[in-house]
Amino acid sequence: MKYTFPHNFYWGSATSAPQSEGHLPDDGKGQNIWDYWFEENPELFFDQVGPQTTSTFAKNYREDLRLLRSIGLNSLRLSISWSRIFPEGTGEINEQAVAFYRDIFTTMHEVGIEPFVNLFHFDLPLPLQNLGGWENRHVVSAFATYASTCFSLFGDLVAHWFTFNEPIVIVECGYLYQFHYPAVVDSKRAAQVGYHLALAHACAVAAFRSGKFPGEIGIIVNLSPIYPKDLSPEHKQAALIADCFFNRSFLDPALKGTFPQPLVDLLQAHDALPNYTEHDLAIIAENTVDILGVNYYQPRRVQAPTHQPEQLMPETYFAHYEWPERIMNPYRGWEIYPQGLFDLAIRLKNDYGNPRWYVAENGMGVENEQRFLDETGQIQDTYRIQFFHDHLSALASALASGANCVGYHVWTGIDNWSWLNAYKNRYGLIALDLATQTRTVKRSGLWFKALAETNVLPDVE
């Protein structure tokens, strides 16, 4: 069966400032939490590779953008570095950064790539973290100022804005599971951080609307369909709570303007409700999104809890369940389940009013891809082609069922740096040689080019 997509579909890739830009001498950029964490604890990072160099996009963006366009991409989701615009998080603007981003967005238009611009991708300016980070209400106001500044500086070049990428990851990785800085375990602090992120998002949306800037604004959330072990009441209840923690905690405020009541009740029962005001809740209620970005990688399978953590954790209410029929990506430890993308699309249609949305990330990380080099020097990543093909087949079926999806962005265009994993796993359509910074299109890049230029899903050869 040949799957086709709309003629105006957005075919693109996604990256972020901290994962691709790198630093340039005397560029005026301030330190963010990743710069600091690597400086303090380089041993935590794979091969002790930090964010200072990454994929040198800051140096090579003109060539990189033309290369991405050459493989068919008509759009690109990237982020602005808050600490590049405001080296101290607030105060004086770095004019070098303004010129830098304006030239990036101008070049994108010149080569035929539509900018999808995200304001925050985990890289909080260090001076604001030193004030308590997202636990501090002041940072909410600072983010609203930063967002408004970006709308004013770049609004003539950017029509698609997003406030946060994966805000739940900031909560769970920074305040529950210790994968992001400040790497603490404290459910009450986690709840306050989550609340402030939702409020900061709504304040930025309000600023966008009050400024009457052109275009649309949204948020990017990572969603996983939650599947219970079976339909027994205890496993279904576990799935409901997991869904509230990991999906609805930001999806509901973004699309409905409210927090899921089961989550509110649960936090209240544990005396973990964040500090809030009725005025805050009104801001959240009144500033839902125009467009939603959805990052999808894997489903979440749960069962009733099997142990009780010492303090409130998501695992207080559910345990993970290994589905016997699962297919795994062994390099990332994630289940590959394309049907999950279809299920998410239909849920957005049926439960959330069928909002305008796009796939903001979908991809497959593989370690040591040099194993798959052929005699011409091209990586033969047929496994990635199969991954894309199967997920796009599911997405095409969802579109045929009425889902309002307007695009598909892979993670990522050019191999980039991935937090504590650095360059352990590669995700790109284009390979990056770290030693020479040479870029080489992989087989998946040519496959994606055929897809983007025809809107017809190619076969897996």
Residues acting as catalytic residues? 166, 361
Alpha-carbon span 181 to 68, nearest angstrom:
32
CA 228 from centre of chain: 25
* Residue 290, amino acid: D
DSSP string, 144-211: HHHHHHHHHHHTTT--EEEEEE-HHHHHHHHHTSSSSTT----HHHHHHHHHHHHHHHHHHHHHHHHT
Strands 357-361 and 334-335: unpaired
Structure tokens, 223: 């969603």
Alpha-carbon span 105 to 215, nearest angstrom:
15
Other C-beta atoms closer than 10 Å to the C-beta of 138 total 13
Place of tokens 């796993």: 425
- Taking a C-beta distance cutoff of 8 angstroms, is the pair 151, 137 a contact? no
Q: Where are the alpha helices (DSSP H) in 381-458?
A: 382-400, 443-454
Q: Which of 133, 227, 125, 219 is nearest to 171 (CA)?
A: 133
Structure tokens, 161: 């804005």
Residues 6 or more apart from 442 whose CB is under 8 A from it? 369, 378, 379, 380, 381, 384, 428, 429, 430, 431
Residue 334 has phi, psi (to 5 degrees) of: -115, 145
Q: Which of 302, 359, 362, 368 is nearest to 337 (CA)?
A: 362
- Taking a C-beta distance cutoff of 8 angstroms, is the pair 68, 413 a contact? yes
Q: Which residues pair with 292 in a beta bridge?
A: 219, 357
* Residue 372, amino acid: F
Strands 300-303 and 319-320: antiparallel
Q: Which of 171, 185, 189 is nearest to 135 (CA)?
A: 189
Alpha-carbon span 40 to 34, nearest angstrom:
10
